[in-house]
């Protein structure tokens, strides 16, 4: 059985304009020791999905509207509130995009790391300090003993992000949720952090849920990938299948829009015209239809079906797609010709 299973999750936010269904029927699973990438653009619901796994969505204005999240068979959404701290940090740790706000500015790095170890393993001061220093060393922070006595503002952004990761990994979590952990960082620091996550995963069989908008990071890190659009998963599969044979026109559009070596310089890049629909009143049929180039090439009857019938992601299969007319190798060739 999978370590984490998200089943038809629905999360909404009450706003003045009405209920926004940020996550609208998302199903995913993360296998033991594997990495699932969750990719999509701002507002697609990927971060809300991730936060829901730790029940971190603020209620109100947020509301869990339906579905279930099972972690090692415990039901997160119905669990009594006082049992959550048991899971948070110990079984599931999370690394956020912005390390500046996730560390407490008034305590030293050492104290914050010690606190985690005291709570998790009941370690005494000296032992906790030693273990913290060893972890900082392991993630490539020079002179860890000195760093322990420093405050967050004394460290660079990349350094703080590494401290956050150290904190998450000290707990030896069974699941690490990384929400855009490298987005604010430079490419060389990003490479260091990705390497670190991979190393620790290899050593301790940690499962990882990796949230990003960066297709390169997905290709680099993940075993499987789920592509989200407007609160839904539109395609899911092994990273090789999704990158080499995208079946959803949105996935294909995202991959085609990236500049990459070998593409003619200064030539027009493929784009996805239009904007994401409002989640206050999403379209009845396919949420991507209005922007879909593939849709425009269908015969009128088929095109109407996209507008009328909501394509849902089939629950099973190796490479399911939420599209009435998924792309095949020949349709892609025809359209790019």
Partner 1 sequence: MNAGIAAPLLVADDVCKHYPVRGGVWGRSIGAIRAVDGVSLAVESQRTLGLVGESGCGKSTLGRTLMRLETPTHGTVTFDGRDLARAHGDELQRLRREIQMVFQDPYSSLNPRMTVGEIVREPLVVHRIGSRAEQQERVRALLETVGLDATTIDRYPSEFSGGQRQRIGVARALALGPRLVIADEPVSALDVSVRGQVLNLMLRLQRELGLAFIFISHDLSVVEHMCDTVAVMYLGRIVEEAPVERLFARPAHPYTRALLAAIPSLDPRRRTGAVPLEGEVPSPIDVPRGCPFAPRCAWVIAACRESVPALEAVETSTHRAACIRRVEVAAEPLSVSGAPRRVTGASS
**Site residues (CB under 8 A) for partner 1?**
41-42, 140, 142, 156-159, 186-192, 194-195, 198, 213-217, 219-220, 222, 239-240, 243, 253-255, 257-261, 263, 265-266, 268-273, 275
Number of Cβ within a 10 Å radius of residue 69: 22
Tell the smallest beta-carbon distance from residue 214 to partner 1 (Å).
7
Tell the smallest beta-carbon distance from residue 287 to partner 1 (Å).
14
Distances in Å between the alpha carbon of 40 and those of 165, 215, 231, 285, 295? 23, 9, 10, 20, 20
Tell the smallest beta-carbon distance from residue 310 to partner 1 (Å).
22
Tell the smallest beta-carbon distance from residue 241 to partner 1 (Å).
9
Closest CA to 180 of 10, 51, 28: 51
When the beta carbons of 43 and 66 are compared against partner 1, the nearer one is: 43
When the beta carbons of 260 and 296 are compared against partner 1, the nearer one is: 260
Tell the smallest beta-carbon distance from residue 264 to partner 1 (Å).
9
When the beta carbons of 19 and 194 are compared against partner 1, the nearer one is: 194
Question: Which two structure tokens, joined as six digits, stand for 130?
Answer: 């030693």
Question: Which two structure tokens, joined as six digits, stand for 182?
Answer: 């490298």
Query: Scanning the structure block, which residue is given the tokens 């430079």?
Result: 186
When the beta carbons of 135 and 217 are compared against partner 1, the nearer one is: 217
Query: Scanning the structure block, which residue is given the tokens 């019938």?
Result: 309
Compute the distance between CA of residue 159 and CA of residue 304 in angstroms, rounded to an integer: 53
Tell the smallest beta-carbon distance from residue 4 to partner 1 (Å).
22
When the beta carbons of 59 and 281 are compared against partner 1, the nearer one is: 281
When the beta carbons of 100 and 270 are compared against partner 1, the nearer one is: 270
Distances in Å between the alpha carbon of 181 and those of 50, 57, 98, 197, 223? 13, 19, 8, 10, 18
> What are φ and ψ of residue 214, in 5° steps?
-100, 110
Compute the distance between CA of residue 307 and CA of residue 287 in angstroms, rounded to an integer: 8
3-state helix, strand, coil in the chain (%, to 5): 40, 20, 40
Tell the smallest beta-carbon distance from residue 164 to partner 1 (Å).
16
Whether the bond into 255 is cis, omega within 30 of 0: no
When the beta carbons of 79 and 332 are compared against partner 1, the nearer one is: 332
The torsion region of residue 279 among left (phi > 0), alpha (psi -120 to 50) and beta comes to: alpha
Compute the distance between CA of residue 159 and CA of residue 130 in angstroms, rounded to an integer: 19
Tell the smallest beta-carbon distance from residue 189 to partner 1 (Å).
8
When the beta carbons of 146 and 304 are compared against partner 1, the nearer one is: 146
Number of Cβ within a 10 Å radius of residue 55: 16
Compute the distance between CA of residue 41 and CA of residue 232 in angstroms, rounded to an integer: 12
């Amino acid at each position: 059985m999978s370590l984490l299973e998200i089943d038809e999750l629905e999360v909404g936010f009450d706003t003045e304009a009405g209920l926004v269904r940020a996550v609208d029927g998302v199903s995913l699973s993360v296998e033991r020791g594997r990495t699932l990438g969750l990719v999509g653009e701002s507002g697609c619901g990927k971060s809300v999905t991730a936060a829901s796994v730790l029940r971190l969505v603020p209620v109100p204005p947020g509301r869990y509207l339906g579905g279930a999240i099972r972690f090692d068979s415990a039901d997160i959404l119905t669990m009594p509130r006082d049992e959550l701290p048991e899971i948070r940090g110990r079984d599931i740790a999370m690394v956020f995009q912005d390390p500046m706000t996730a560390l407490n500015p008034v305590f030293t790095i050492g104290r914050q790391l010690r606190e985690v170890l005291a709570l998790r393993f009941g370690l005494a001061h000296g032992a906790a300090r030693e273990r913290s220093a060893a972890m900082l060393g392991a993630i490539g922070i020079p002179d860890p003993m000195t760093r322990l006595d420093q405050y967050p503002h004394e460290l660079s952004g990349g350094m703080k992000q590494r401290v956050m990761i150290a904190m998450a990994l000290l707990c030896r979590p069974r699941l690490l949720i990384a929400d855009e952990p490298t987005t604010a960082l430079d490419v060389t620091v990003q490479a260091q952090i990705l390497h670190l996550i991979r190393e620790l995963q290899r050593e301790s069989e940690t499962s990882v849920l990796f949230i990003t908008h960066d297709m390169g990071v997905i290709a680099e890190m993940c075993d499987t990938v789920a592509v989200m659009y407007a609160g839904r998963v539109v395609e899911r599969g092994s990273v090789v299948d999704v990158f080499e044979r995208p079946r959803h026109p949105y996935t294909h559009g995202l991959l085609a829009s990236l500049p990459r070596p070998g593409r003619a310089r200064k030539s027009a890049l493929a784009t996805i015209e239009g904007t994401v629909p409002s989640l206050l009143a999403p379209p009845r049929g396919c949420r991507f239809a209005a922007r879909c180039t593939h849709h425009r090439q269908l015969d009128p009857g088929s095109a109407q079906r996209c507008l009328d019938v909501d394509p849902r992601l089939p629950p099973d299969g190796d490479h399911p797609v939420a599209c009435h007319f998924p792309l095949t190798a020949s349709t892609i060739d025809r359209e790019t010709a």
